[in-house]
Amino acid sequence: MKPGTVDPDAQLRLLNLPVPIEVIEDSVGRPAAITIPLAINSGLTRLSRLAQQQRTNAKIGAQKITAINDLWQVNDEWWREHPVSRRYYQITTQSDRRLTIFKDDLNGNWYCQKGE
């Protein structure tokens, strides 16, 4: 291995990384419907989920959000090059699933995240 390079085996593999999703917002910017990758919906592990996403890029249809159970704002690491500013929602979908999603205030994209 060349000096200065990192052994991929020695790297940390972060858990609970955000997964991009599509969200339809209502008039005031709150999530109204959600389209999530099939792999998340089927409860696969992260590795097999990524593999399946690459193979099929499959998604289930939009699901209506029936309730927003909780919401909170996270503003952190503002002193770094890439600060964090997210608005989290804990939602219930029409199929009665509870998910934690957030909108990245910096790029406007929506993500689904576990571990909250």
Partner 1 sequence: MIDRSIACMLVTHLPVKSEVRRYTQLRGKPVIITESYGSQNLVLDSSAEAKGVTAGMTLAEAMARCKDASLIQADSPYYNNIFDKLLKALELRSPAVEKSGLGCAYVGLEGLEAMYGGEAQVIASLLQVAPAEFNPRIGVAGGKFPAYVAAVTSRGGRATRIPHGSVSTAAFLNGLSIGLLPLSWANKTRLHRFGIHTLDQLSSLPEGTVQAQLGTEGRKAWLLASGIDSSPLVPHRMQQVVEEHLTFPSPTTTWSPILTGLGTLLGRAFARSEISGRYVRTASIESRVYRRPPWVKKFGFKEALGNKDKALFAMKSRLDSVTLPGPLEDMRLTLTGLTGESGIQSNLFSDVRKQEQLKEMMRQLEALLDGKPPIYQLKEIEPWSRIPERRQALVPFDP
Residues 6, 9, 28, 108: which binds partner 1 (CB under 8 A)?
9
Q: Which letter does DSSP use for residue 78 in this model?
A: T
Residue 103 vs residues 8, 47, 88, 108, 116: alpha-carbon distances, Å? 30, 24, 7, 6, 15
Nearer to partner 1, 9 or 96 (CB): 9
The site for partner 1, by CB under 8 A, has a size of 17
Based on the shown chain and the rule CB under 8 A, indicate whether residue 113 belongs to the binding site for partner 1. Answer: yes
Q: Could you count the other beta carbons within 10 Å of the beta carbon of residue 75?
A: 11
Q: Could you count the other beta carbons within 10 Å of the beta carbon of residue 90?
A: 16
Positions in 67-86 near partner 1 (CB under 8 A): 74, 76-77, 84
Binding site for partner 1 (CB under 8 A): 9-10, 12-18, 74, 76-77, 84, 113-116
